[in-house]
Amino acid sequence: MSGFTMSPSKALAVLASGALFGFGLSLATMIRPEVVLSFLRFQDLGLMLVMGGAVVVTLLAYRVGPRLLRQPLLGGYFHQHVSVWNRDTVLGAALFGAGWGLCGVCPGPAIAGLGTGNWDLAWALAGILAGALLQGWRARA
């Protein structure tokens, strides 16, 4: 992104949010592919609590936050995401789900898992990066 700048307070907020996210993923054991795979096989449903908690916090932040605050605490405005359901969205979601189901690795937990020394996750991240790069090239064509 050319011309992208971030104030020190925003950079600190992003860093703190990322650290909180990574710590939560690690604490919930989502950084261990075998735990995620056992969830996907319906053998261990503990991660359902993690996802449920994330949904509740996100719902509150997106629905209640803009009503309580005139603008975000660090400036700017509240963005509205317009959902676009098309062939690429459905196909991308299916491919992402298949990849996640096959290896039990999602990008966020994989990055957090590297912080615990699980270097095998670097292979999954390399594949995720290659897929994203290929899609970026495809989208430009």
Q: Are 128 and 106 a contacting pair, CB within 8 Å?
A: no
User: Mean pLDDT score of the chain, rounded to an integer?
Assistant: 87
Domain that holds residue 38: 8-140
Query: Would you state the structure tokens that stand for residue 76, as one six-digit string?
Result: 């700017």
Tokens 């609590």 belong to which residue? 49
On whether residue 96 sits in a domain, the answer given is yes
Mean pLDDT of 95-119: 88
How confident is the model over 113-125, as pLDDT tens digits?
Answer: 898 899 999 999 9
On whether residue 58 sits in a domain, the answer given is yes
How confident is the model over 16-29, as pLDDT tens digits?
Answer: 998 998 898 889 88
How many independent structural domains does the chain possess?
1
Question: pLDDT-based confidence at 13, cuts 50/70/90?
Answer: very high
On whether residue 126 sits in a domain, the answer given is yes
Taking each helix axis from N to C end, the angle separating 46-63 and 33-40, rounded to the nearest 10 degrees, works out to 90
